[in-house]
Structure 1
């Protein structure tokens, strides 16, 4: 079995606490890609990966904050 592509974890990845719950926000890309992927993992281990790819890491981080502002933290829990 060959190893998968090398993933680059972005330093803007962070943990966000909202409404008493914790969401791990991961911003990453493969070494071959230029666009960033965004994933939120709640405290139960449920993952939400955005379908969109982001040209900048800040755009990815802004997207998760917009989702929390629009839908509330409960949308991830």
Structure 2
């Protein structure tokens, strides 16, 4: 299997999130069939992606980090740049 054929398992925490009139899609995923750490990605209304540099031991930790970012920086922080990563 090549990298382009990689399949992913998505967390139940993945999906659409709406706050302050802004809609984003949260992707919390890892390679299918593994116990690898989870990746957190947020895609804004324009299709731009924010991917965290760090991975998470559990999908819940990833979701809690997303919520903490919203609390700290606001959901509009995902709209300020096109493609970027977060530490």
Same fold (TM over 0.5): yes
2-side partners of 1:60 and 1:74: how far apart? Answer: 19
**TM-aligned CA deviation for residue 33 of structure 1:** 4.9
2-side partners of 1:65 and 1:15: how far apart? Answer: 13
For 1:23-34, what aligned pairs fall within 5 Å after superposition? 23-31=24-32, 32-34=34-36
User: Where in structure 1 are there 5+ consecutive unaligned residues?
Assistant: none
**TM-aligned CA deviation for residue 4 of structure 1:** 2.5
TM-score (norm 2): 0.80
1-side partners of 2:45 and 2:39: how far apart? Answer: 20
For 1:1-77, what aligned pairs fall within 5 Å after superposition? 2=2, 3-31=4-32, 32-77=34-79
TM-score (norm 1): 0.90
User: Where in structure 2 are there 5+ consecutive unaligned residues?
Assistant: 80-87
Superposition misfits of 4+ residues, deviation over 4 angstroms:
none
RMSD: 1.6
Number of residue pairs aligned between Structure 1 and Structure 2:
77
